[in-house]
Structure 1
Amino acid sequence: MGRKVTVATCALNQWALDFEGNCERILRSIEVAKAHGAKYRLGPELEICGYGCADHFYESDTLLHSFQVLRNLLEAPVTQDIICDVGMPIMHHNVRYNCRVLFLNRKILLIRPKMLMANHGNYREVRWFSPWNKLRQVEEYFLPRMIQEVTGQDTVPFGDCVLSTKDTCIGTEICAELWNPNSPHIQMGQDGVEIFTNSSASHHELRKADQRVNLIKSATTKSGGIYLYANQRGCDGERVYYDGCAMVAINGDIVARGAQFSLDDVEVITATLDLEDVRSYRGELCQPRLESEFKPCHRIKVDYSLSSCEDVYLPTHQPIEWHFHTPEEEISLGPACWLWDYLRRSGQAGFLLPLSGGVDSSSTACIVHFMCVLLCQAVEGGNGRVLEDVRRVVGDESYRPQDPKELCGRIFTTCYMASENSSEDTRNRARDLANQIGSTHMNINIDMAVKGILGIFSAVTGRWPQFRANGGSHRENLALQNVQARVRMVLAYLFAQLSLWARGKPGGLLVLGSANVDESLTGYFTKYDCSSADINPIGGISKTDLKRFLLYCAEQLQLTALRSVLAAPPTAELEPLTEGRVSQTDEADMGMTYSELSVIGRLRKLSKCGPFSMFCKLIHMWKDALSPSEVAQKVKHFFRIYSVNRHKMTTVTPSYHAENYSPDDNRFDLRPFLYNTRWSWQFRCIDDQVAVSKFHSRASRRKGDHRREPVITMSCFSCTQVTQMAANAPKQ
């Protein structure tokens, strides 16, 4: 009857500028798709060159090598008799575009440029590409000679068009276009396009996967249709991790899906679907277009069918239920896959982590252990690429990992760096956790190095600084804490470079950082201390989520040492002990709790709040616990320490992006690093508002109404009115 189609989409672990590897993975995905009977293969965004090329997109080399790969794909026997949809940058009329290239049997069918760009958060697409803003318009694109020699074509269609086969019609979306309120699939569906494709480079973020799935289901719920979604996988050389989730949907149901987190470089998802299901679904819902301004899609016809005449007995895919990972599972999987990508591509022999026995470094250690679990599972499942990479990392061509704990001992070194201010409790917690996960563990005492550095200072100045507990000033106290932290960074890199050499083994180690997103937000770390590392898997994760993750690890992996880690108050242990016990805690030093910081961080980044608007929101959110005056003090304290420490984010270790209020200055959160830390105008507005609230509170009490009076907000009065009312209020 000729109505059932088999289509394929995929998740590929591409790498920016790895043209050879990217080409090989694309060809492998096409081979798998054809083996499963697919007549159409969709790949992720910019898969030929890699999505994360950044300013390399400016280089003519990137465009040249992309066309060279395209030529290889056109000539490859495996790409014959299947429509291949690949992504690459293309320059048209001296303008750079992010494009899809569709080809069949050595002929390019069309080039479709991206029309709606991703230009927020981690994305800066308009820095390198221009959007195609000519709706329903198609131009001629003159092919480079190297492509003409293969295709025999001088020009091909370039623009906003769809592909019309003998049995159906296929329309393209690219990544962010799905998330736009005016998505192309809306009008394409109204014009009879039956199959929508989306090639993406969509990164992982905690609690985000359901948004992506719901958007795809919604796209075909409203007007029917088949939707193919392809995505990048892996780190691509950047801070973000692309988490796959390739899927196929029809009429609002997901019928096939790939893994969200996986060590497979190539994953192909195929589905067989009945076009009559789309037509029946639309027959009841869709009405003829009545708008006189409607422009039909520009159709590019191809003499090819996705279906066959003998498909009556071909089974179709049925709806499946999507089970989403919990945030704790996401933390165990996403950063672990990201670490493995970084390790295997860096050429190093493993990781080194300063393990303090606290929540942050323990979380990092557990993520590395989960990485070893995933590696052993992949090898056991027959993943030859993972086995080859593991053998190269450990330097043993006959090695076969079977036990995660044993593998952890080969590629993971932890060290507890003690000082005279360290407690026996933290030393024991670090040792116990290292024993349970199997890392090679060392105890290092840093006192000799610290005293040596202070001795140099004393020899030059004739002064020896003292801790505050011993009568020293605040400046002395802070300097003495910082020198300990920075000595730990120097020693971490020394042992990372030479510890394997000292054991007679080849290679060096990557240093792991362990500062969480909340500490980065306030700058609660020493610049160039042991938070300065090669990479940081938890730099985008909140302390609250990390605690839940450790509880999950304690239960899932039976790591009993983590219970004592969770029970202990977070501390930097940089000040003298009191009767052998820790006297310094993180939350006391910061002046607010980690849960408060999470709320403030989201208001600052997601709600775009400055000091005054944040105060106006928090007086309602925290009204049951804090008075307006107390909220004002919290807000002012946060913005003071945030602005004083913002400079630290310019040198922060590259971190796994997992949280949408990340303060990462290097890409995600672009703000100044030199502030007027007094915030005089902003704080005066807050103080005036507090005065108004007190005035109304007293007025209410004089009237005998002792109920809690609602706080007046900016929506009630302008700043000028607030100032005038405060001036007329009775003095306290």
Structure 2
Amino acid sequence: MFDGFLKVACATPQISVADCAHNCDEILSLMEQAAKENVKLLVLPELCITGYTCGDLFFQKTLLSGAECALMELIDASESLDLVCVVGLPAAVEGKIYNCAAVISRGRLLGLVPKTHLPNYNEFYELRQFTPAPSGTSIVSFAGSDVPFGTKLLFSCMELPEFTFAAEICEDLWAPLPPSVFHTAAGASVIVNLSASDELVGKAEYRRQLVSGQSARLVCGYLYADAGEGESTTDLTFAAHNLIAENGILLAENRYQTGTLTITELDVDRIAAERRKMTTYPAVSSDDYLTVSFSLQNELTTLTRPIDTLPFIPQGANADETFEEILTIQMQGLKKRITHAHAQTAVVGISGGLDSALALLVAVRAMDALDRPRSDVHAITMPCFGTTTRTKSNASALCEALGVPVQTIDIKHAVDVHFADIGHDPDIHDVTFENSQARERTQILMDYANRQNGLVIGTGDLSELALGWATYNGDHMSMYGVNASVPKTLVRHLAAYEARRLSGTAGSILLDILDTPVSPELLPPSDETIAQKTEDLVGPYELHDFFLYYIIRFGFSPKKIYRLCTYAFGDTYDKRTILKWLKTFYRRFFVQQFKRSCLPDGPKVGSVALSPRGDWRMPSDASAALWQNELELIEETL
């Protein structure tokens, strides 16, 4: 459970209706299997000790006693198992029968949670046998001990307090105001649902949406265990549709399989981080809740859940729709700024690289949306000491293919004059040599825009801003930064999408730009070979974007990010390489904050951004010592 990772499972036993002894054996087998898999939380279906479809047999004392005896056997067997198990059964309490979730762990019955909302429509007639949950919490005698009974129960792990869960049962989730709303407001990070949802055409997809949506709305982990094979098929069938979701993401799913575990890991640290950030998420108020503590062995959880190496990149069949949406957001921001400023032109410094190509594409889209000619986009290419024929040619050719006028302003002479003015030896290829070129280009763009009553469109991306890979008051500055919240990995995918969409000459040029090494081209090339490759200097952008996402989005520690990264990229980078670039990221991120404190305006497109006016406020002289010390401790273990 280190780093907040918790292995959890849902399972559906293959039951025999009303045969509590048989069902107990099946449940125990699943519990033992789960313990061997290091599962810490196992959720089983509604009324699975007896079967959901017992009908009026629930009135039979023999069945109720059989269920209670079976639960006692499970409690005894759980003493040697390092897990918490939630199992469904009917419970005769204080003269009524309740549909309950029993929470057991380490030889203890921790509590009984009765169902609140009893369906009594269509194929359901639960009010015939069961009583809805009472409003309060009481102590009742059941299965050989005095236990808490009620819906307002929280179950909290002493070794990992962020792992606090509560239960609701089947229809409770489908009700207008599910109990889980109150459970999470009281502090539950995980909700378990014991269900017996019958199968109908189209219901599976609705169930997925319901579980995923509830986990997103409540910012929680949600485990949904469904009844399956073995239930009576007199009128209904059950599909054992088990689902595990975390904050809107479906992590694991199983259907039509009984006797197997649906396993994944929840990240309760991630849930806690998300709640801390959301000012609209209620502060914990659990005055009327009873918290029951339990203990589990704290150990390293083996990860199996999917960790995307490219967290900023949309996946799946609808990815192109998302790319189009991102480009539209960028375009809408620029369109508004052009209109508000009464700008006659959008001025783009085009280098033949990815970032400026994307900015050019967005500018073209903005003019199209304004019903203005593309000739109102003015592209300027400014070759200097490091410019190669390939990038210069691609810059001009892309403009021509898009119908954008382009002019070339060679800045070598101007930079040489500047070197002479400040007394710099042009044969010394230091930071002055590089930054002078970037600042000269920005001066030209700004002054040209003034002459044309235009706006300088910034080309720098989010990854560069995070690393400070920009010349202060050079390419760092613009009048509107359309790529300011687009990370480098996403820039590549947006350019590839546009290449597919445009096809033809423009598409071919974009593909060649994609194939060109990322470089500021500030150092002289050797035989037309780019001498300065950004990723050789600051590290792979796919790693830096991974670091950036988890640092900003969830505030994870260096130790946890390192663990996630070695898990996600284990087949690509060794541990020392990952640690090297993670140290680089933290060092640059802290030292370069002053550049982010004065960024130009630009549209936010995703959940991670570094605008000093919105998403990221950080003092420029903050110390990185705590983060660096944690990384040093990791290095000592290698």
TM-score, with structure 2 as normaliser: 0.49
TM-score, with structure 1 as normaliser: 0.43
